[in-house]
Amino acid sequence: MKLPIHESQELSPSKEDSNLIPLEQLQVTDSQESGCSSCSSGCGTPSFSSAIEKESSGGFIGELGDRERDLRRPFTHKFKTERQSYVYDVNTDRIIQVSSVVYDIIDDFGVLSATDMIDKYGVQYASDEIRVAYDMIETANRDENLFSNNHPSEILYPLDAQSLQRLYDEDVRTLCLGVTEQCNLRCSYCTFSGTYEFHRAHNSTFMDFDTARRGIDFFKQHSILCDYVNLTFYGGEPLLNASLIKECVEYANSIFGRKRIEYHMTTNATLINDEICKMWIDNDFKIMVSLDGPKEMHDRYRLNGANRGSFDKIAQNLKKLRDMSPDYYRNNLKFGVVLSPPYDFEDLNDFFTHDPLADVRTMRASGVDSQDTTFFHDFTEEELDDKGRDELKDKYFRDLIQNNIRHDRPEREHRFMHALFGEGLEKLIPTIKATNPFPEVYHPGGICVPGLKTLFLTPGGDFFTCEKSSTASDLLRLGNLETGLDAIKGMANIESYSHAHDGCRYCYASRHCGTCFVKASAGEEFDGAVKMDNCNNHRAGFRQELTDIMTIMEENPGAFDHLKDVTLI
């Protein structure tokens, strides 16, 4: 699969590659267009940290006010790298390189005539330049469906309660058991630390085997269409209830027959012993270990009840597991790295590149959840600065351009950088592909089918949309072991989420939405302001990723060819 752009001097796509649009197609002669910011010869090397496109007047229409007039404009988003100008066409999900004159006038296409554009932009460009650019936009609109002002007329989810109930009855692929709400650590940034307004705090609730067994029975009965299933253990710290987990694994293995079960666990790794290691290895568990970097960083916030750091104990336990099975350790463990202030990305990269314990194939890096927390209140501006991040990003992208990165399994020197900068791009790129304009009725893909991606079962036997749901309220509760899954409640949540604000119809990132139920919830309701804050964050990230992709491809058009056969699940 290629991005829907193609470097070519042809004036129109070929028959064989009709879903691609040549980069030069909408360019009007501009002597400075191909150069870098410091010269006109195109000889410079881009700085990725500064290659951030500017928000344009053709951005998020819902924020512009004159909505009736704006709906006549192309449904597009403009962005720039240091060298080139681009238009992301929302309706066709295509990225088009354009000249500066096309870039400047395109927002007025459909609003102003060519003559009016000449009057408006005549100070900047010659009349014939403007007219040629206008004609190019008009031709692309007519022949390629580009730069359409088409918007969905209604945001409506493509399922009804009856269809959702059928999925609940037969197609639940993942069950996450919340085996305890207690934890032996007291990480100050934790969602369950008591600093998050709408989430529970740690408590002494534990799941018993009767609840777990009934949950696994329910799972078996409602996953008959799945060729394999995932059984996940979550906390608190799940290994505080290790005996229950062992019983659950034995029971699931006994009742699922030949159906493949993949076991997963998220743990702080402080309670690992030989028996737990053997259970993990024998059942091929996939383990997410919370590890925030070198000792001084990790121990800043990941403390036990006595206010002592946990790094040394984790290191001891991880060495035990690695000694038992080096291959299992390298291939089945993933580190979950929480990036927290004060930041030092150079030290983090050095640790995950060189420390023997950090030699695992994959890791995930994410920031502290900033929604509804007081965690960040006491930090200075200097402590909140992303020290060393831009330099690390520049290095990673330069190596990507020079084909120095092994994409299937990045070598150690790139693994942390890949988690920071590469994973997002590799998830996005295969989803950007030429498509048809929006239908009348549409729904962004930010939300899951509630309960199907990861159905969460609490120690008390209640079902929630996922393990990230706040169990302190009933908002994302979908039922319980007595009543089963309630499709009517699931649909009510979808509708409430969808109508929390009406900006989805006008959002340029709607085809690549990442704002889920949890990111729009506030206590017992979906809050439009909370959702909009997260939408703005997602749009900013999407905008930056588009800029990064094109900056890289300007230097190495084949940098992402390894993704052409990728299927995302």
CA 218 to chain centre: 30
Peptide bond connecting 58 to the previous residue in cis, omega within 30 degrees of 0: no
pLDDT 10s digits, 54-77: 344 344 444 444 555 578 999 999
Three-class DSSP category at 260: strand
User: Is 296 among the domain residues?
Assistant: yes
Side-by-side strand order, sheet with 333-339: 362-367, 333-339, 286-290, 260-267, 228-234, 174-178, 455-457, 462-464, 477-480, 484-485
Structure tokens at 172: 């639940």
pTM of this prediction?
0.86
User: Is 477 among the domain residues?
Assistant: yes
CA 130 to chain centre: 39
Query: What ranges make up the beta strands (E) of 285-398?
Result: 286-290, 333-339, 362-367
d(CA 156, CA 159): 9
User: Is 203 among the domain residues?
Assistant: yes
Closest to 315 measured CA to CA, from 331, 332, 302, 305: 302
Structural domains in the chain (count): 2
Instruction: Clarify whether residues 437 and 465 are in a common domain.
Output: yes
Strands 521-522 and 525-526: antiparallel
Closest to 215 measured CA to CA, from 7, 391, 461, 501: 461
User: Is 19 among the domain residues?
Assistant: no
Instruction: Clarify whether residues 89 and 140 are in a common domain.
Output: yes
d(CA 115, CA 385): 48
Give the pLDDT mean for 538-542. 95
User: Is 48 among the domain residues?
Assistant: no
Instruction: Clarify whether residues 138 and 262 are in a common domain.
Output: no
- Amino acid 18: pLDDT: 32
User: Is 42 among the domain residues?
Assistant: no
Instruction: Clarify whether residues 128 and 227 are in a common domain.
Output: no
Helices 274-282 & 311-324 angle (0-180, nearest 10): 50
User: Is 33 among the domain residues?
Assistant: no
Is a pLDDT exceeding 70 seen at residue 254? yes
Q: Are residues 265 and 287 in contact, defined by beta-carbon separation less than 8 angstroms?
A: yes
pLDDT 10s digits, 158-196: 999 999 999 999 999 999 999 999 999 999 999 999 889
Q: What angle do CA 158, 160, 166 make, to 5 degrees?
A: 110
List the domain range (segments joined by +) for residue 467: 168-568
Instruction: Clarify whether residues 372 and 346 are in a common domain.
Output: yes
Q: Are residues 241 and 207 in contact, defined by beta-carbon separation less than 8 angstroms?
A: yes
pLDDT 10s digits, 371-428: 888 899 889 999 999 999 999 999 999 999 998 887 667 788 999 999 999 999 999 9
Peptide bond connecting 294 to the previous residue in cis, omega within 30 degrees of 0: no
pLDDT 10s digits, 76-129: 999 999 999 999 999 999 999 999 999 999 999 999 999 999 999 999 999 999
Q: Which residues contact 375 (CB under 8 A, 6 or more apart)?
A: 188, 189, 195, 368
d(CA 192, CA 189): 8
Q: What is the chain's alpha carbon radius of gyration, rounded to the nearest angstrom?
A: 26
Is a pLDDT exceeding 90 seen at residue 47? no
Instruction: Clarify whether residues 220 and 104 are in a common domain.
Output: no
Q: Which residues contact 424 (CB under 8 A, 6 or more apart)?
A: 541, 545
User: Which residues make beta-bridge pairs with 267?
Assistant: 289
Instruction: Clarify whether residues 219 and 89 are in a common domain.
Output: no
d(CA 422, CA 509): 19
- Amino acid 405: pLDDT: 85
